[in-house]
A and B are shown apart, each in its own frame.
Chain A
Amino acid sequence: MAKQKRKLKGIEKCPTGVKGLDEITEGGLPRGRPTLVCGSAGCGKTLLAMEFVVRGIQQYNEPGVFMAFEENADELATNVESLDMDVRQLVKKNKMAIDYVHIERSEIEETGEYNLEGLFIRLESMIDQVKAKRVVLDTIEALFAGLPNEAILRAELRRLFRWLKSKGVTAIVTGEKGEKSLTRHGLEEYVSDCVIYLDHRIINQVATRRLRIIKYRGSHHGTNEYPTMIDETGLSVLPISSLGLDYSVTNERISTGIDELDAMMEGKGFFRGSSILLSGTAGTGKSSIAAAFASSTCRNGEKCLYFSFEESPNQIIRNMSSIGIDLNKWVKKGLLKYHSSRPTLMGLEAHLVKIHQKIEDFKPTSVIIDPITNLTSIGGQAEIKSMLTRVVDYIKTNKITGLFTSLTEAASASEQSEAGISSLMDTWILLRNTEVNGDRVRLLYILKSRGMAHSSKVRHFMLTNKGIKLLEAAE
């Protein structure tokens, strides 16, 4: 990935192992310092903290300590079991130590001055026991509910964070979001080196997770809100920071899969790594052209990833075989892969993360998204545009050719692409239906194609059982 890495001297980073987070923070959390992770209930604070410890052990061989104030060790272990994190095993191997600090307010009576040395001793004995490099306190604010004397508590927290620094451990401290401040009890006052904010909101009945780095003392970092997702592999953050308009381009051309369409583009087809928009009203053959392109990619021995938001893979394969395009053999060869899901299954951001993950796993040379307009059911125009911009930037950076289909409403102008993303596209092919002498005919023309002398003819477009045919204009 063409990415600028600017590391400032002086701050050493501790990689979290959480997908994407290390890219946004340009290397990880500040080593040897505490980081505050805050957010409302259910935003994934504990998971982020747990991943920090578990991935730290698994990937960087840095043992960790998890001090929980809300859940006991057993509950914690069970909660992350489904995310491929075997906490019990790590504890058994003495790589990880968990302590559950339980404070029962009704049992405790204050009788004069005290300090929190008990907490320090417990933490220290665990750190020494596993030789921990990473420490999590989740969430230390529970102390405020358990201990009535806030003055002592605040002084002790200040001492605790100083002590953690002196121990040289990289720590994550979690905190519940407060009404006016970042955390309910103003932890940000003590942990000021790095603050990460997790957000979980509902837009159009769909849950959307976001992550933002509010502050990172002494380091450059991404400042946006980044889409985040929790799935079976844990938490992942989508680093958009690594994208931009600085991708390299090639002059290499690839076939569209339709000879006549290639001919309309100087006889060579699309540029590799370009983005193509296919738009048209219902039944104009958008998916068929997409299938022809997929088939052509696979014929060259390259991989194609097909995101379908409307039809199931089997249905596409059946339908395309009726016009002489055999997609099944490419699926069997492992060159063509489908990913079908309803747009409403998850939020836009989650789709975006999913698309990224699938592309990263499969490493295709072309990607088809059919159709992008279906996403309007889960997001506004501006959101879809920003999401597609990220997809386009991402695939272009990786020199992947992207083909997007877009359904135009019958009533709207055919040159108005619904998601408003035509400006992102290098090539725009328009399809439409028209009636000639009582027959409905399909027409195809290239509205634009950057960097090539494309034909400006309107062509007659036919779907036959031997494939797609383009004829001279009928009019």
Chain B
Amino acid sequence: MEKKMDENNRRMSSIERDLIKKSKEADKSKQFVLRLYIAGMTAQSSKAIKNITQICEDNLKGRYDLQIIDIYQQPALAKGEQIIAAPTLIKKLPLPLRKFIGNMANKEKILVGLDIQPKD
């Protein structure tokens, strides 16, 4: 009886492992388009830039497009992108669209929000 359960478990986890492996492969092929909107070079802005660059380099190396935009220079963009807070990171691709506000200090939240598995 117990043996059977064990076997079952092993089979389940192998299926799961398979799924995770496949999804990771799919993840890796996804291209990320990210836009970071900052309001001038404040301490928060540079923190945010540093943090998000780090996260991208660590997890999305080679398959992300991160642009940093100063909304002081382009106020029209703030209106068009419905930005109220600074810094704001917008994940344009892959869909769905997500916004992150703050200095990007909460790494876990960003990873979950970007829907990427942290590198183990």
Q: Is A111 a contact partner of B101 (Cβ separation < 8 A)?
A: yes
Chain B CB within 8 A of A103 CB:
yes
Chain A CB within 8 A of B60 CB:
no
Specify which of B39, B71, B78, B105 is in contact with A111 (CB 8 Å cutoff): B105
Query: Residues 72-89 of chain B: 1 if any A CB is under 8 Å from the residue's CB, otherwise 0?
Result: 100110110011111111
Chain B CB within 8 A of A112 CB:
yes
Which residues in B have their C-beta under 8 angstroms from that of A99? 79
Which residues in A have their C-beta under 8 angstroms from that of B76? 125
Q: Is A118 a contact partner of B85 (Cβ separation < 8 A)?
A: yes
Specify which of A101, A110, A143 is in contact with B82 (CB 8 Å cutoff): A101
CA distance A112 to B45 in the complex (A): 12
Number of A-B contacts (CB under 8 A): 100
Chain A CB within 8 A of B100 CB:
yes
Q: A117-B39, A118-B78, A121-B75 are in contact. Are A101 and B103 (CB under 8 A)?
A: no
Name A111-133 residues within 8 Å CB distance of B: 111-122, 124-125
Closest Cβ of chain B to A160, distance in Å, is: 11
CA distance A318 to B83 in the complex (A): 67
Q: Is A118 a contact partner of B110 (Cβ separation < 8 A)?
A: no
Q: Is A118 a contact partner of B106 (Cβ separation < 8 A)?
A: no
Chain A CB within 8 A of B104 CB:
yes
CA distance A122 to B72 in the complex (A): 9
When C-beta atoms are compared, the residue in chain A nearest to B39 turns out to be A117
When C-beta atoms are compared, the residue in chain A nearest to B112 turns out to be A109
Sorting the interface of chain A by its residue count into under 10, 10 to 19, 20 to 34 or 35 or more gives 20 to 34
Q: Is A113 a contact partner of B103 (Cβ separation < 8 A)?
A: yes
Interface size of B in residues (CB-CB distance below 8 Å): 35
Chain B CB within 8 A of A387 CB:
no
Which residues in B have their C-beta under 8 angstroms from that of A110? 100-102, 106, 109
Which residues in A have their C-beta under 8 angstroms from that of B105? 111-113
When C-beta atoms are compared, the residue in chain B nearest to A146 turns out to be B84
When C-beta atoms are compared, the residue in chain A nearest to B70 turns out to be A121
Which residues in B have their C-beta under 8 angstroms from that of A472? none
Which residues in A have their C-beta under 8 angstroms from that of B51? 112
Specify which of B37, B72, B98, B103 is in contact with A112 (CB 8 Å cutoff): B103
Which residues in B have their C-beta under 8 angstroms from that of A113? 44, 102-103, 105
Query: Residues 82-120 of chain B: 1 if any A CB is under 8 Å from the residue's CB, otherwise 0?
Result: 111111110000001111111111100110010000000
CA distance A99 to B88 in the complex (A): 19
Q: Is B78 a contact partner of A122 (Cβ separation < 8 A)?
A: yes
Q: Is A101 a contact partner of B84 (Cβ separation < 8 A)?
A: yes
Q: Is B98 a contact partner of A107 (Cβ separation < 8 A)?
A: yes
CA distance A364 to B107 in the complex (A): 75
Q: Is A102 a contact partner of B103 (Cβ separation < 8 A)?
A: no
Tell me which of B47, B75, B84 has the highest count of chain A C-beta atoms within 10 A of its own C-beta: B84
Q: Is A115 a contact partner of B85 (Cβ separation < 8 A)?
A: yes
CA distance A224 to B69 in the complex (A): 52
CA distance A251 to B78 in the complex (A): 69
Chain B CB within 8 A of A345 CB:
no
Q: Is A109 a contact partner of B101 (Cβ separation < 8 A)?
A: yes
Chain B CB within 8 A of A147 CB:
yes
Q: Is A114 a contact partner of B102 (Cβ separation < 8 A)?
A: yes
Q: A118-B39, A118-B78 are in contact. Are A111 and B103 (CB under 8 A)?
A: yes
Q: Is B84 a contact partner of A116 (Cβ separation < 8 A)?
A: yes
Closest Cβ of chain A to B113, distance in Å, is: 5
Chain B CB within 8 A of A453 CB:
no
Q: Is A107 a contact partner of B78 (Cβ separation < 8 A)?
A: no
17 contacts between A and B (CB under 8 A): A107-B99, A108-B101, A109-B101, A111-B102, A111-B113, A112-B47, A112-B106, A114-B85, A118-B39, A118-B88, A120-B39, A121-B39, A121-B72, A122-B79, A125-B79, A143-B84, A147-B85
Ranked 6 nearest A-B pairs via Cβ: A112-B105, A112-B102, A117-B39, A125-B75, A118-B83, A117-B86
A interface list, Cβ under 8 A from B: 99, 101-103, 107-122, 124-125, 143, 146-147
B interface list, Cβ under 8 A from A: 37, 39-40, 44, 47-48, 51, 71-72, 75-76, 78-79, 82-89, 96-106, 109-110, 113
> With contacts A112-B103, A115-B86, A122-B83 known, what are 15 further pairs, Cβ within 8 A?
A107-B98, A108-B101, A109-B99, A111-B100, A112-B104, A112-B105, A113-B44, A114-B86, A115-B39, A116-B84, A118-B37, A118-B39, A118-B71, A118-B86, A122-B84
